[in-house]
Structure 1
Amino acid sequence: MEAATPLRHAHVGIFGDRLVVDGLVIDDECAVRLVRERAEAGDDAAKVVADAVEIGARILEREQAGANADFVRAEFERTAHEVESGFSERAKQVADELGRKVDEVFGPESGHLSKALQRHFSDESDVAVQNRVRDALTEVTARLREDLLKQFASGDEHNPLGDFKQSVVRMLQDAAQRQDGNLGRLEERMTALHLQLQSLRDEQVKHEELDAERERGTAKGRTFEEAVFAAIGSIAAAQGDDCDAVGDLMGATRKTGDVVVDVDACRGPARGRIVFEAKHSKLSKPKAFEELDRAMRERDADFAVMVVPAEDSLPARTRPLHEYNGDKLLVAYEPDGDDRLALEVGYSLARARVLMTRGDGEGLDAAAVSEAVERTLGALEDVRRIKQQLTGAENGIDRARSILDDMAARVRSLLEQIDELVTAGTPDDDGAE
């Protein structure tokens, strides 16, 4: 038999942060199998052993830490149980002692506090606080009352309240005088306010009356507008023109313009348009012209005529049947009267101006038209003068009426002459095309 070779004893050395193992023999089957398999796979056996040592060291360290934690936890639980038991016993002793002391102090029958409260606040006790306070207040109040009576009743100059009494009296007197003055001024203001209120009431009554008058004027203006439309409609029918009441119809943007006349619309295409604005109230000249310009824009008209119920309703510094700006005319027409001659003249003048404008003046004897217009206006002035004479004179009414009828016939004949001149000098629309 061969002699067994003795193995060297393993030597483990620690050098700094390194561990050196010499002669170490491991007979663990798992370790041997692991190193053999890794070596057969081509890995370094020494590195495999080093990894196994490192991994095992970490596992042992973690297990040791867990064991230490379990030990500490067990020791802490044991100590806590002992402390809890000791604290419970001590707390019970303290609670019992505290309860006994509380009963001694706050007991309802034999407590020190109950006895002290009963002694100091009981009504039967002579040394009770409320009784002593009541006695002290009674004494002090009586003494203060006596002192105040002495101070206010005494007129001695050494009395400290003497000046106060005099100043109070003076203040009361001054206050009474000021109050009397304030009451007097207040009464005056109340009187003025009463007068002002009465004035406001009177003004309100006037405004109400004015509103009522305006309502009546509006109704009256509506009646005047209808009368103007009826008269213009009759005149237009005789001329072959088309007449429409458009006061309630919206124009381009507003309802300005009460009556629209399309010239020669009953015979064919309209050769022009005239707009009539009926105004029952008096307007200023700029306002009236602005109204007529707006009416022409809203109704797309060539000429505008403003009709008022009387000559005194015409704008200031204007004349009836006088052409303004070449496209405006003012006419006074009384619906209650039986004479619409002025309205007929205004209608014819406006119609002639529209036809002259639309015909561009070709073949038109402007001088003859102007002369006829002047003669018409002169004749109308004669008619108006005679009417004034008829109004002021009672005698000779029949003779003046005859003259008036003759003059009216003359005016109508002149109007017919104007129409003939205008018609003859204005080419038809078909010929113009």
Structure 2
Amino acid sequence: MEAATLLHPTSVRVLGDRLVADGLVVDDLASVDLVRERTALGEDPAVLLLDAIAIGARVLGREHAAADAEYVRVEFEKAARDVENAFAERARNVGEQLGSKFDEVFGADSGVLHRALERHFSDDSSGAVQHRVRAMVAELLVAQREDLVRQFSSADAGNPLAEFKRASVEAIDRAGRQQDTNLRGLHEKMAALERELQGLRDEREKRRELELERERGTAKGRAFEEEVASALDEIATGQGDDCEAVGDIREGTGKTGDVVVGIDACHGPARGRIVFEAKDSRLSRPQALAQLDRALAQRSADFAVLVVRRDEQAPARMRPLREYNGDKLVVAFDPEDATTRVALEVAYALARARVLMTRAAGEGIDAGAIGDAVGRTLAALEDARRIKQQLTGATTSIDQAKTILGALVDHVRAQLGEIDALLRTPGDGRDSQLALRPADPPVAPAGSPEAQSSG
């Protein structure tokens, strides 16, 4: 801001927080142009003039502060140069004194420390420390060696090696005896361990053989189940029944029962269900009855038949082809023996007849005729069984007995056909709960073993 032209005496006073100026004229060209432009834009010139004065005052304040700071900086730099010069001079004096003292003590040739080390550790000095230590160690070693030689060469109690030698010999003897005892015990333990190991090996081998035997028994039992199922399927096909192998199928609460037959299921809804359980091993009577009861419950069957391979495998106190509890039967069937096929057919027919007789109240089936036919069938089958036993041990009349056996088997099959016909033909409505009773056995032909034995 340029200088202001005073047209009249001016009066500038400070009143509290305000500045009062009277008769002040500003002839600064920049200020005049600025006020003119802003006034043309509609701004208040008085406000603009006040802003210019305020801004100029702040600029002047900053310039004065900068001038003061520059002065202080110059003074500090001057003082710092003086201090630096004084410190450098003092450090130079101290360094010179320290260097002289260091040369005096640690000088390479004339230093105090060099002369002292040379006097105490130089090889040329007779009083050097290493020479004195070497001489003292040599004297001490010679004296100790002489003392040791005198002490250990004597045979009296003062020689510690004598007691040590005796104690060493005793310790070695004790250790030898103890080692011998330990070795004998170790050998005994090793022998016991070998015996135990051999026992474990034998047991493992027995277990392995047992597992193999179980696997073979399981496979054999499974093969027997399949053969029984195949034979029952052939019988059921001729009767118009449905036969299904269900040994691996869970039904109800378990999988007991290997084959289920639905009576007349090929022609419509099944009129009853028969479950067959095949066993290639012997069961006790309670086990057999319990297993057949489970098969009846789990397969929702009306009659249960236990099929074993041989008569000897029938449960104790249970005979083949004899009815138990009104809904159970045992039969022997060997797939490799064709003569036992008829026994399975009889068991199938008996079970089928029992189921149909139980449900015969509303179907008009002649239960009495069925009972008579079943009795004759069982009698004929019993004759066939006895003749088979005679064939096993007889050496004569074999051909004639076989002929009689074939005739009886045909007779049994004819009786089975009669039973099937009775089951399919409504009768006179006699008591449907008539028991399956055996009939009188047929008379054996003249000259047969049966006739000779009866004579």
* Fold shared per TM-score above 0.5: yes
Counterpart amino acid of residue 210 in structure 2? L
Structure 1 residue 195: deviation in Å? 0.8
- 1:212-291 matches, cutoff 5 A: 212-218=212-218, 220-221=220-221, 223-225=223-225, 227-241=227-241, 261=261, 263-264=263-264, 271=271, 274=274, 276-282=276-282, 286=287
Tell me the equivalent position of 1:430: none
Q: How many residues align?
A: 415
Is 1:191 the counterpart of 2:191? The answer is yes
Counterpart amino acid of residue 311 in structure 1? D
Tell me the equivalent position of 2:420: 419
Task: Give a deviation string over 1:119-149, Cα, whole Å, max 9, x none.
Answer: 8699x99957699489749946983995699
Tell me the equivalent position of 1:330: 330
Structure 1 residue 317: deviation in Å? 6.2
Aligned equivalents of 1:362, 1:106: Cα separation in 2? 143
Counterpart amino acid of residue 26 in structure 2? D
CA contact (8 A) 2:295 2:301 kept: no
Structure 1 residue 270: deviation in Å? 5.9
Aligned equivalents of 1:370, 1:387: Cα separation in 2? 26
Structure 1 residue 193: deviation in Å? 1.0
Tell me the equivalent position of 1:308: 308
Unaligned runs of 5+ in 1: 427-433
- 1:334-373 matches, cutoff 5 A: 334-340=334-340, 341-356=342-357, 362-366=363-367, 369=370, 373=374
Aligned equivalents of 1:264, 1:396: Cα separation in 2? 43
CA contact (8 A) 2:273 2:303 kept: yes
SS in structure 1 at match of 2:363:
coil
- 1:379-418 matches, cutoff 5 A: 380-381=381-382, 383-385=384-386, 387-388=388-389, 390-392=391-393, 394=395, 408=409, 411-418=412-419
Tell me the equivalent position of 1:143: 144
Aligned equivalents of 2:368, 2:255: Cα separation in 1? 38
CA contact (8 A) 2:7 2:25 kept: no
Counterpart amino acid of residue 424 in structure 1? T
Counterpart amino acid of residue 11 in structure 2? A
Q: Report the TM-score, using the length of structure 2 for normalisation.
A: 0.61
Task: Give a deviation string over 1:370-426, Cα, whole Å, max 9, x none.
Answer: 565566556545554554455455567677667655654554444334323322359
Structure 1 residue 194: deviation in Å? 0.8
SS in structure 2 at match of 1:339:
helix
Q: 1:33–1:257: structure 2 CA closer, same or farther, 3 Å change rule?
A: same
Aligned equivalents of 2:318, 2:325: Cα separation in 1? 13
Q: 1:11–1:189: structure 2 CA closer, same or farther, 3 Å change rule?
A: same
Tell me the equivalent position of 1:204: 204
Per mean C-alpha deviation after superposition, the further-off stretch among 369-378 and 178-187 is 369-378
Aligned equivalents of 2:379, 2:146: Cα separation in 1? 113
Tell me the equivalent position of 1:429: none
Q: Report the TM-score, using the length of structure 1 for normalisation.
A: 0.63
Tell me the equivalent position of 1:27: 26
Aligned equivalents of 2:367, 2:10: Cα separation in 1? 155
Counterpart amino acid of residue 353 in structure 2? A
CA contact (8 A) 1:277 1:295 kept: no
Task: Give a deviation string over 1:80-130, Cα, whole Å, max 9, x none.
Answer: 788889989969x969x88x969x9698xx9978x95998699x9995769
CA contact (8 A) 2:360 2:367 kept: no
Q: 1:163–1:128: structure 2 CA closer, same or farther, 3 Å change rule?
A: same
CA contact (8 A) 1:390 1:400 kept: yes
Aligned equivalents of 1:409, 1:376: Cα separation in 2? 11
Counterpart amino acid of residue 25 in structure 1? L
